[in-house]
Every structure is written in structure tokens, then in C-alpha cells.
């Protein structure tokens, strides 16, 4: 693959790039071409999946996201040149930079806080709220659902021992239901069915309120916030999701498994839960 580097270098010099820039471009491109060689692939055989694997390999080496993005940007220049010369059919690097979140909340509940929260829900005097809220907390704590996903869950989202998360039309992921979550969901569905309200019978949404056939995100936030005030420590919907992700790490799941189960768009988000290992 050395002839690719020589030709690319000639192109960079033709473009009158600074010597420092040329060295950096050749260094990053050389690293990738060496990686490709180890995978027993030629540049002409390159697929988008190869670059995705390379990007994730850099992440596994604990490189900063900003450094990885810089590397991908550099490769994008090389791929653009390679496309122009017919070596590859597409610039696969153009859209592969990691999205860098403005902030990342590493807050999750301790095991003690988790138990206090579940006990508070179990003490609800209203049978409707008790069953619903226990199921609500269960799908966030033990399935790691986003608040919008909780609101959009349907009664048919539960299939055998799995929770099916549907993204628009297609199933985006299947999350195994632990016995605790399954028990709370089943108890809630029995209570809801027993009420025989027309509003509930006509609605396919799993979570409802006393006045609506679908529990909106704002209503879910209100429930969680009320427990936070009652218990005297911070509890948010995002913290419940973080607790699920953190538990996956503690149980020995890989970053790829965390990404799949939590539905993270970028594996860099999944890796952040590994930064706090003791």
C-alpha cells in the first residue's frame, strides 16, 4: 500500500500543504492502511464497516473522542482523494465523526437509594398509582428506557421475556426482562384491566394516567420528581437509565453489549460508563 501513500503525498505537495500538515496526514493515513493490511483487506475492498471497526479500535485504546475525530477528519481528506482517483467508491469517513455530548451526567443511584425508591413506590396507598409507578420505575431501572420510550410503550411491547422497543416502524432493540420488571409489569396490567375504564380498554399504550390513555413524558417526570422530594435525594429519569447502564458494566457486559441494550447511537457514550470502574 506504499504506492497509495506516495501518490497521496505527491497530491498534498501539489496542493501546497505545509510540511507539518503533510507529515500528520501521512502518519494518520499510514496507521489506517496498516490496520487494513492486518485485516487482510485492500483499499479497493474497503467498506464502511471497516472504518467503523477502526474507529472503535481507537476508542478501545482509550484515545480521546476529540483525537479520534481528528484522525477521522484526516482520513476523510485521504478518502476524498482516493475517490477522485477511482481507488474507492465513497468517502466513508465524511460522516463518521463521533458526536460529542455537551455534558454527561455520571449520576446513578446507589444500591441503597435504589431500594429506598422501590420501597417508596410500594407504599403508595392508591392501588392504581402503586401498580403503575412500580412498573414505571422497573422499566427505567431494569430496562434502561429513555423517558420518551417509556411513554410510547404499548401493551404488545412485552413479548415473552423481552421488551420490544420500536423506533418509528422497525424494532430498534430487544431488552431481556428480569423477573422483577416482568412481575411489576404483569401486576400493573392486571390492575389496569380490572378497572375496565373505556379509556384504558381503547388505549394500546402500556402506561396511562387517571385522566389520559397515554402517560406523557412530563407526567412521568412528575412522578419521579415527587419521589425525589419525598426521599430527600436527587432522583431523575436519566439517573434511572444511568443506573441500568452502570449495572450492565458491573455485571461484566462489554461496551458493545451496553450500546445494544441501552440503544446508544454512539459507542463512545457506552464507554463512558466504564470510566468510573473502581
Within the chain, what is the greatest distance between any pair of CA atoms?
77
Q: Which residues pair with 163 in a beta bridge?
A: 158, 175
Q: H-helix or E-strand containing 173? A: strand 170-176
Q: Are strands 162-167 and 170-176 parallel, antiparallel or unpaired?
A: antiparallel
Q: How far apart are CA 77 and CA 93, in angstroms?
A: 9
Q: What is the mean pLDDT of residues 213-227?
A: 96
User: Which residues on adjacent β-strands are paired with residue 158?
Assistant: 163
Backbone phi and psi for residue 207, each to the nearest 5 degrees, phi listed first: -105, 125
Cα-flanking dihedrals φ and ψ of residue 242, to 5°? -60, -35
pLDDT digits (tens, 9 = 90+) for 254-265: 888 999 999 988
With H, G, I as helix, E, B as strand and everything else as coil, classify residue 159: strand
| Helix residue ranges, H only, the chain | 2-14, 19-38, 48-60, 65-84, 111-122, 127-141, 147-151, 179-195, 198-202, 217-231, 237-250, 255-262, 267-271
The partner residues of 171 in beta bridges, in order of sequence, read 166
| pTM attached to this predicted model | 0.67
CB-based burial label for 58 (10 Å; 0-12, 13-18, 19+): buried
pLDDT tens string 118-165? 999 999 999 999 999 999 999 999 999 999 999 999 999 998 899 888
| Averaged pLDDT, 88-103 | 67
Which pLDDT score is estimated for 105? Answer: 55
All structural domains of the chain: 2-84 (1.10.150.130), 111-274 (1.10.443.10)
Res 168: pLDDT? 55
Asked if residue 240 lies in contact with residue 141, where contact means CB atoms within 8 angstroms, the answer is: yes
| Average pLDDT of the residues of the chain | 87
Amino acid at each position: 500500500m506504499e504506492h497509495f501513500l506516495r501518490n497521496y503525498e505527491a497530491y498534498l505537495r501539489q496542493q501546497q500543504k505545509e510540511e507539518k500538515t503533510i507529515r500528520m496526514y501521512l502518519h494518520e493515513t499510514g496507521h489506517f492502511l496498516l490496520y487494513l493490511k492486518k485485516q487482510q483487506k485492500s483499499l479497493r475492498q474497503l467498506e464502511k464497516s471497516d472504518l467503523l471497526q477502526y474507529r472503535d479500535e481507537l476508542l478501545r485504546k482509550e484515545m480521546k473522542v476529540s483525537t479520534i475525530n481528528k484522525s477521522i477528519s484526516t482520513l476523510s481528506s485521504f478518502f476524498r482523494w482516493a475517490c477522485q482517483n477511482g481507488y474507492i467508491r465513497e468517502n466513508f469517513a465524511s460522516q463518521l465523526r463521533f458526536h460529542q455530548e455537551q455534558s454527561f451526567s455520571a449520576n446513578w443511584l446507589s444500591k441503597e437509594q435504589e431500594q429506598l425508591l422501590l420501597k417508596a413506590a410500594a407504599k403508595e396507598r392508591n392501588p392504581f398509582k402503586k401498580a403503575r409507578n412500580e412498573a414505571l420505575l422497573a422499566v427505567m431501572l431494569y430496562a434502561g428506557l429513555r423517558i420518551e420510550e417509556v411513554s410510547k410503550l404499548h401493551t404488545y411491547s412485552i413479548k415473552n421475556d423481552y421488551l420490544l422497543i420500536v423506533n418509528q416502524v422497525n424494532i430498534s432493540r430487544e431488552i431481556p426482562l428480569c423477573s422483577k420488571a416482568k412481575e411489576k409489569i404483569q401486576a400493573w396490567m392486571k390492575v389496569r384491566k380490572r378497572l375496565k375504564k373505556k379509556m384504558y380498554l381503547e388505549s394500546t399504550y402500556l402506561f396511562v394516567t387517571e385522566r389520559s390513555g397515554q402517560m406523557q413524558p412530563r407526567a412521568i417526570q412528575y412522578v419521579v420528581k415527587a419521589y425525589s422530594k419525598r426521599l430527600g435525594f436527587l432522583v431523575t429519569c436519566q439517573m434511572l437509565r444511568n443506573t441500568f447502564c452502570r449495572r450492565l458494566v458491573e455485571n461484566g457486559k462489554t461496551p458493545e453489549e451496553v450500546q445494544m441494550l441501552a440503544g446508544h447511537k454512539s459507542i463512545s457514550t457506552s464507554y463512558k460508563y466504564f470510566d468510573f470502574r473502581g
